[in-house]
Amino acid sequence: MGYEVSKALVTGGAGFVGVNYAKHLLDRGVEVVVYDNFGRGPGGKINCEWLSKHPNANKLEVVEGDVRDFESLKKAASGCDLILHAAAQVSVPLSMEEPKVDFEINVLGTFNVLEVARSLNTDPAVIYTSTNKVYGIPEYELVELETRYDFTGDLLGVDEKAQLKAEEPYGASKAVGDLYVKAYHNIYGLKTVSFRCSCMYGPRQWGVEEQGWVAWFCTAFALGYPITIFGNGKQVRDLLYISDVVEAFDLALDNIDKVAGLGINLGGGKENAVSLLEVIAYLEQLSGRKVDIQFTDWRPFDNKCYYTDITLVKKLLGWIPKVSWRDGVRMTYEWVKENLEVIEEVYRSKEGRSLRPMVEAAKKHG
Q: Which residues are catalytic?
A: 170
Closest approach, Cβ 140 to ligand NAD, in A, equals 20
| Region binding ligand NAD by CB under 6 A among candidate stretches 36-44, 255-263, 311-319, 327-335 | 36-44
Q: Does 168 bind ligand NAD (CB under 6 A)?
A: no
| Region binding ligand NAD by CB under 6 A among candidate stretches 180-188, 194-202, 280-288, 301-309 | 194-202
Residues 10, 30, 44, 83: which binds ligand NAD (CB under 6 A)?
A: 44
| Region binding ligand NAD by CB under 6 A among candidate stretches 7-15, 186-194, 277-285, 309-317 | 7-15
Q: Does 16 bind ligand NAD (CB under 6 A)?
A: yes
Q: Three-state secondary structure along the chain? A: CCCCCCEEEEECCCCHHHHHHHHHHHHCCCEEEEEECCCCCCHHHHHHHHHCCCCCHHHEEEEECCCCCHHHHHHHHCCCCEEEECCCCCCHHHHHHCHHHHHHHHHHHHHHHHHHHHHCCCCCEEEEEEEHHHHCCCCCCEEECCCCEEECCCCCCECCCCCCCCCCHHHHHHHHHHHHHHHHHHHHCCEEEEEEECEEECCCCCCECCECHHHHHHHHHHHCCCEEEECCCCCEEEEEEHHHHHHHHHHHHHCHHHHCCCEEEECCCHHHEEEHHHHHHHHHHHHCCCCCEEEECCCCCCCCECCECCHHHHHHHCCCCCCCHHHHHHHHHHHHHHCHHHHHHHHHCHHHHCCHHHHHHHHHHC
Residues 9, 14, 25, 336: which binds ligand NAD (CB under 6 A)?
A: 14
Q: Does 303 bind ligand NAD (CB under 6 A)?
A: no
| Region binding ligand NAD by CB under 6 A among candidate stretches 61-69, 137-145, 149-157, 280-288 | 61-69
Residues 7, 24, 40, 270: which binds ligand NAD (CB under 6 A)?
A: 40
Residues 131, 192, 265, 275: which binds ligand NAD (CB under 6 A)?
A: 131
Least Cα distance to 264 among 214, 207, 318 occurs for 318
Residues 197, 248, 259, 279: which binds ligand NAD (CB under 6 A)?
A: 197
Closest approach, Cβ 156 to ligand NAD, in A, equals 19
What is the number of the residue whose Cβ is closest to ligand NAD? 15
Q: Does 129 bind ligand NAD (CB under 6 A)?
A: yes
Buried b (16+ CB within 10 A) or exposed e, 106-121: bbbbbbbbbebbeebe
Closest approach, Cβ 141 to ligand NAD, in A, equals 25
Q: Does 200 bind ligand NAD (CB under 6 A)?
A: yes
Closest approach, Cβ 72 to ligand NAD, in A, equals 10
Strands 142-144 and 149-151: antiparallel
Complex with ligand NAD: residue 107 or 227, whichever CB lies closer: 107
Q: Does 109 bind ligand NAD (CB under 6 A)?
A: yes
Report d(CA 354, CA 258) in Å as an integer: 40
Complex with ligand NAD: residue 62 or 197, whichever CB lies closer: 197
Buried b (16+ CB within 10 A) or exposed e, 144-177: eeebbbbbeeebebbebebebebebbbbbbbbbb
Mask for 202-241, x = binds ligand NAD (CB under 6 A): ----------x-----------------------------
Closest approach, Cβ 288 to ligand NAD, in A, equals 27
CB-CB contact of 265 with 308 (8 Å)? yes
Complex with ligand NAD: residue 7 or 204, whichever CB lies closer: 204
Dihedrals φ, ψ of 319, to 5°? -90, 135
Residues 21, 38, 241, 307: which binds ligand NAD (CB under 6 A)?
A: 38
Mask for 66-105, x = binds ligand NAD (CB under 6 A): xxx-----------------xxxxx--------------x
Residues contributing to the site for ligand NAD (CB under 6 A): 12, 14-18, 36-40, 44, 66-68, 86-90, 105, 109, 129, 131, 174, 197, 199-200, 212, 362
